[in-house]
Amino acid sequence: MFGFEMFVQAALLIAGAYQLALSVWGWRVRRNEKRHGPKKSFAILVAAHNEARVLGALLDNLKQLDYPRALYDVFVICDNCTDDTARVAREHGVYAMERQKPHLRGKGHAIEWMLHKLWARRKQYDAVVMFDADNLVSRDYLRHMNDDLCNGARVIQAYLDTKNPHDSWITAAYAITYWYCNRLWQMPRRALKMANFLGGTGMCFEAKLLREMGWGATSLVEDLEFTMRCVQRGVYPIMNYDAKVYDEKPVTFRASAKQRLRWMQGHFDVARRYFFPLVWAGIRARKWTKIDTAFYAVTVYNVFFGFIVTVVQWGDELFRWGMTWHSIYEWIPMTVGTVLFLLICAQFPLALTLERAWTKRIAWSLLTFPIFLLSWYPITFYAFFTQRNKQWSHTEHSRALRLDDVQTRASG
């Protein structure tokens, strides 16, 4: 009998095989062949909540971008700040946009508010770029965004990297995950002209599109929500591999778990609202990209049910609960699942090799990386029962590194 547990196992098996097959298209980097001189103007929005300690490094970084200074302005969204974030912004000669709405906290609401302010200004821009206050940006970032916009792209996601991969085993785990996702998740979809997924920072949007759509992404995962809204409209975000954004990651497991819990709570919310509409839209329009995006949204349920089935099966094995469980391997040889599992595991060192990210510290961190991956299961399980929580939580940042420091460490 093909029971629920077998259905979950089959879903996980198919999802793993599908992503493994796609990853082949990420082995080679596809770059823009057509370059353009500086044409597009940019409004750079920096979302900041009590980020006075790290904001200055980003603003100094943005002043040194390899792009005509007259073609971009920087706006810091000082969202419900109680520190000197606004003062730091003004001292660096950029616009400090102060917002005090404690009942509507979170980056999604802050962006919504800022865009209304931006559209009301006399000066208008061709595109809007969004960063977090703890970020650092490659100096050629705007040149790459300009090229993509001139080549017809409307939503662009930069390459996301970490600025502190060697701070702890947790930051190393984030870094490995980012390198894997950039090369073997995002790049294949770019190569196959499917939709890439927005990552919360380093995002560039055609201003005309934002005006037409409105932001409307105020969940705990505003980036994923806006990705879904774009794909619904037939607008497929692309990834630019050469435009780099360095993001600070939590150092401790506790801070990491808190951040990932928020992500998973938001992921359940988005999956619930967008999965079926996107699937039906993809079937009707015969657009596989819509279906691919829908299945990405619903992976959070794969993790949730996979965790339940695994715990119950192991509990029955260890404590003899007397339950009758069926396995997918009653239908297919176990060697199929074993080989697939080993190939999926091999993708992480493969990504490190392709990205030339091997260091002694990162190599040792592969030993603790499985703990990080496994920790997603209880976090996702708890997120399912708390997904109605819409309260945004702040991740504190303190690593005020400079771009040269980060790039030197990365190249070393």
Mean pLDDT, the chain cut into blocks of 10 residues (412 residues total): 70 89 93 88 96 93 96 96 94 94 85 96 97 95 97 97 94 97 96 95 97 91 95 96 94 94 94 96 96 95 89 72 67 84 94 95 95 96 88 60 60 48
Letter string b/e over residues 85-121, b meaning 16 or more CB atoms within 10 A of that residue's CB: bbebbeebebbbbebeeeeebbbbbbbbbbbeebeee
**What pLDDT is stored for residue 398 in this prediction?**
58
Please answer whether residues 119 and 86 qualify as being in contact, where contact means their C-beta atoms are separated by less than 8 angstroms: no
Domains in the chain, CATH or no CATH each: 1-27+42-412 (3.90.550.10)
CA distance 285 to 293: 14
Per-residue model confidence (pLDDT) at position 388:
80
Q: Tell me which H or E stretch contains 351.
A: helix 334-354
In this prediction, residue 315 carries a pLDDT of 74
Which ranges of 49-159 would DSSP assign to H, the alpha helix?
52-63, 85-91, 107-119, 141-150
Tokens of 386: 């708390």
User: Exposed, middle or buried, 269 (CB in 10 Å: 0-12/13-18/19+)?
Assistant: buried
**What's the burial of 323, exposed, middle or buried (CB within 10 Å: 0-12/13-18/19+)?**
exposed
The CA distance from 397 to 46, in Å, is: 14
**355, 185 contact by CB (below 8 A):** no
> Which of 199, 221, 229, 201 has its CA nearest to residue 390?
221
The token pair that represents 259 in the structure block? 């951040």
**For position 412, what pLDDT does the model report?**
46
pTM: 0.91
Six token digits for residue 7:
């259905």
